[in-house]
């Protein structure tokens, strides 16, 4: 069909008084039960101009046809030539209304606009004008703006370490983001850290002790990582500072990773008596080659942002001073790309890997459950909790 610009569609509705000057009762933008008055019709024409989203060619043609039918009556002008694509499409839409009475066309126009009005626009399509908080949770803040859903680790006093509750909150945020109106989803951290990984007190504060924490942990971890494997939209990490443990390994499941030059990437699993998770035992060797992946996953070699970029884990590194501005400007531009095209391309990219990733995730979780109950791991966690050891430092006895 001929392309009809949104500007053209808006021009089909002559400028009249602003709809918001009228009391709601007069506007009748809910489902009408009476015949639409001339005033309702004029209000609806103004309402069209307030729509934030282009409703698409079909709807725009329908609006045009109903407008013409309601004002001029049945179409009796000559059909435009075959090469005048836009006017031909408009003529055909109008002509298709045949002898529909003017009053009915006016009513149908008001009904159609009602279904597109800002309130239904927001609820049916999840439109978010200003930065809108979309999920209430203390340590995970989810907001949506400019086609981007932002999921932020928000526990800066604990370097954004992830508690059991935060795993649940993130899963919920991803579930919502997969169907909301945003084109892309972005993770970032509040404060100086991106994230310090799993909260090590998850294991020590569980009521039933390590046994219970390990069982619960394996189930939660598997479900948590699955929600990243299956996430359908482009997933981007904006790594604002150091990243540790699971916040690093998950990056292998992201579509793009942008890092500040003050970010570092550290997976001290052996220091903690643990083993890799989030499919990193599979994704890291593929991303960075087996030799570098071994250094990172077995020996806990911490990578700078530039090293992580050179080894393919990070897409691009930005100077700290311009990081936020540059990255968000870029992401806002990406979020304007056709969302269905991005989803379909991501699906193609991930399709052949999905089954393998689920398999790897399951195996890593089983392995980790046993690791969490090992002396090596329990000692390392106890050392951290009693402040005898910090990341990467040999444990004192
Ligand atoms: C469902 C279960 C899934 C499990 C999945 C498994 C994942 C594996 C991993 O993620 S392994 C990685 C685990 N993370 C760590 O080992 C990091 C431990 N933290 C540190 O080594 C340091 O805190 C640091 C290097 C991140 C930062 O050091 P710094 O000196 O700058 O700051 P502090 O140590 O004073 O930290 C400030 C407060 O934050 C608390 N904290 C930091 N990280 C964690 C953490 N991962 N778990 C729990 N708490 C953490 C730290 O204890 C300080 O709290 P305090 O001020 O109350 O003492």
Question: Each residue of 148-191: pLDDT tens digit?
Answer: 999 999 999 999 999 999 999 999 999 999 999 999 999 999 99
Q: How far apart are CA 360 and CA 290, in angstroms?
A: 16
102-116 and 38-50 helices cross at what angle (nearest 10)? 30
Half-sphere exposure of residue 42: CA atoms within 13 angstroms, side-chain side: 11
Closest C-alpha to ligand 1, atom 9: 245
Pocket probe mutation, ligand 1, options 196, 199, 300, max atoms within 8 Å of Cβ: 196
Q: Which two three-digit tokens encode residue 111?
A: 């009904």
Sign of torsion over alpha carbons 103, 108, 113, 114: positive
Ligand 1 centroid to residue 233 C-alpha, Å: 30
Report the residue among 155, 160, 161 best suited for mutation to probe ligand 1: largest number of ligand atoms under 8 A from its CB: 161
Best residue for ligand 1 mutational test, from 157, 159, 213, 265 (most atoms within 8 Å of Cβ):
159
- Name the helix (H) or strand (E) containing 271: none
User: Does the CB atom of residue 369 touch ligand 1 within 6 A?
Assistant: no
Provide Rg for the chain, Cα atoms.
28
Question: How many A from CA of 263 to the centre of ligand 1?
Answer: 16
Ligand 1 atom closest to residue 199's alpha carbon, by position in its atom list: 47
Distance 297 CA to ligand 1 centre (A): 18
- What pLDDT is recorded for position 306? 98
Q: Which regions in the chain score pLDDT beneath 50?
A: 1-33, 119-129, 395-397
Q: Where are the alpha helices (DSSP H) in the chain?
A: 6-11, 24-27, 38-50, 57-72, 85-95, 102-116, 118-125, 164-179, 201-204, 209-229, 246-249, 280-288, 290-297, 305-310, 323-334, 339-372, 375-385
Ligand 1 near 166 CB (within 6 A)? no
The ligand 1 atom nearest the CA atom of 220: 1
Strand partners, 189: 153
Predicted confidence at residue 18, as pLDDT, reads: 29
Separation between Cα atoms, residue 251 and residue 188, nearest integer Å: 12
Coil vs helix vs strand at 264: strand
State whether the beta carbon of 270 lies less than 6 angstroms from ligand 1: no
The pLDDT assigned to 203 comes to: 83
- Asked if residue 280 has its Cβ within 6 Å of ligand 1, the reply is no
pLDDT at 259: 98
Q: What is the pLDDT of residue 8?
A: 46
Q: In testing the pocket of ligand 1, which one of 139, 154, 158, 195 has its CB within 8 Å of the most ligand atoms?
A: 158
> What phi and psi values does residue 194 have, to the nearest 5 degrees?
-75, -55
Query: Cα(197) to centroid of ligand 1, in Å?
Result: 7
Which residue has the CA at smallest separation from atom 17 of ligand 1?
A: 196
pLDDT at position 51: 75
């Amino acid at each position: 069909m001929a392309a009809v610009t949104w500007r053209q569609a808006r021009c089909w509705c002559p400028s009249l008084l602003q709809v918001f000057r009228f009391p709601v009762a007069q506007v009748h933008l809910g489902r009408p039960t009476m015949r639409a008055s001339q005033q309702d019709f004029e209000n609806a024409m103004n309402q069209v101009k307030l729509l934030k989203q282009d409703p698409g060619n079909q709807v725009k043609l329908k609006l045009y046809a109903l407008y013409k039918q309601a004002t001029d009556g049945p179409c009796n002008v000559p059909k435009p030539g075959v090469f005048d694509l836009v006017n031909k499409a408009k003529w055909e839409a109008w002509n298709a209304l045949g002898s529909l009475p003017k009053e009915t066309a006016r009513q149908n126009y008001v009904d159609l606009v009602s279904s597109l009005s800002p309130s239904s626009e927001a609820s049916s399509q999840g439109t978010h004008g200003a930065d809108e908080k979309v999920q209430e949770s203390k340590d995970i803040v989810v907001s949506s703006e400019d086609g981007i859903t932002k999921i932020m680790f928000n526990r800066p006093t604990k370097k954004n370490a992830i508690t059991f509750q935060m795993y649940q909150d993130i899963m919920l945020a991803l579930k919502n983001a997969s169907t909301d109106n945003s084109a892309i989803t972005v993770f970032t951290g509040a404060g100086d850290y991106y994230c310090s990984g799993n909260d090590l007190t998850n294991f020590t504060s569980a009521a039933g002790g390590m046994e219970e924490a390990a069982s619960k942990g394996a189930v939660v971890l598997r479900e948590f990582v699955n929600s990243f494997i299956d996430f359908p939209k482009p997933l981007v990490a904006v790594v604002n500072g150091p990243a540790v443990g699971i916040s690093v390994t998950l990056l292998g499941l992201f579509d793009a990773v942008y890092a500040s030059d003050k970010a570092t990437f550290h997976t001290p699993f052996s220091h903690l008596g643990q083993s890799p998770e989030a499919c990193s035992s599979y994704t890291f060797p593929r991303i960075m080659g087996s030799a570098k992946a071994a250094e990172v996953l077995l020996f806990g070699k911490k990578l700078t942002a530039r090293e992580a970029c050179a080894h393919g884990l990070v897409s691009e590194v930005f100077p700290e001073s311009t990081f936020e501005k540059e990255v968000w400007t870029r992401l806002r531009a990406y979020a304007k790309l056709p969302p269905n095209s991005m989803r379909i391309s991501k699906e193609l990219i991930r399709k052949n890997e999905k089954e393998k990733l689920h398999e790897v995730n399951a195996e890593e979780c089983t392995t980790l459950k046993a690791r969490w109950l090992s002396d090596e791991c329990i000692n390392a966690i106890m050392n951290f909790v009693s402040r005898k050891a910090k990341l990467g430092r040999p444990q004192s006895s």
